[in-house]
């Protein structure tokens, strides 16, 4: 069995991916409504530690609404160049405001303006309406730091299971699933 700590293994895989993959932190986030209707989209992994995987978004977006109603999610990361895939499932929590603010301060100004301007996941009459909202936000915050919006922040997926998959040309891929237990992680090999 590989490393008994799947978070450490995932961290090592991510470091290896940084050396060969253009966007190694891209992940698919799957959420569901309270009645189970699923949806998935690409988000960026912005933090990984023993607590879990962190990403940021508009909390009034579709994903934010779904996480509020059903705070469970799954993510998948796939690196073709390395022949590796990671799947993580678990509960989701909002991160502390100070943590969100610290990340916000590192974002490019244009991304900060976009967060204020975009009513994420809501209908727009046309592209010009969005461009007008961007211009309004630029004018509103001209000559000053852009504050973090009250509707924007981070989430942490708290892993309950982590699956590490490695490609093999014979289709007998190597799959190891870790399940969190009271005293740590239990690993088991899965059939491909």
d(CA 140, CA 181): 50
- Token readout for 36 is 């189970």
- Token readout for 26 is 């891209």
Within 13 Å of residue 53, how many CA atoms lie on the same side as its CB? 31
Q: Of residues 171, 175, 186, 189, which has the active-site annotation?
A: 171
- Token readout for 111 is 């991304």
87 noted as active-site residue:
no
Q: Hey, which residues does 38 pair with through a beta bridge? A: 32
SS3 assignment, position 176: strand
Output the furthest CA–CA distance in the chain (Å, rounded): 59
Please say whether the beta carbons of 167 and 173 come within 8 A.
yes
- The alpha-helical segments, DSSP class H, found in 96-126 are 97-106, 109-117
Catalytic center residues: 171
């Amino acid at each position: 069995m590989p490393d008994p700590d799947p978070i450490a293994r995932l961290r090592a895989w991510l470091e290896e991916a940084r050396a060969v993959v253009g966007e190694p932190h891209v992940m698919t986030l799957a959420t569901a409504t309270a009645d189970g209707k699923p949806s998935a989209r690409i988000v960026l992994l912005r933090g990984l530690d023993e607590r879990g995987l962190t990403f940021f978004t508009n909390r009034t977006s579709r994903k934010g609404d779904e996480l509020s109603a059903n705070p469970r999610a799954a993510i998948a990361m796939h690196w073709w160049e390395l022949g590796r895939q990671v799947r993580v499932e678990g509960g989701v929590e909002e991160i502390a405001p100070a943590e969100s603010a610290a990340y916000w301060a590192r974002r490019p100004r244009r991304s900060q303006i976009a967060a204020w301007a975009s009513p994420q996941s809501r209908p727009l009459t046309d592209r010009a309406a969005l461009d007008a909202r961007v211009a309004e936000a630029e004018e509103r915050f001209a000559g000053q730091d852009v504050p973090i919006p009250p509707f924007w922040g981070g989430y942490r997926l708290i892993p309950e299971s982590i699956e590490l998959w490695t490609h093999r040309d014979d289709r007998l891929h190597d799959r190891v699933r870790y399940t969190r237990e009271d005293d740590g992680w239990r690993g088991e090999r899965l059939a491909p």
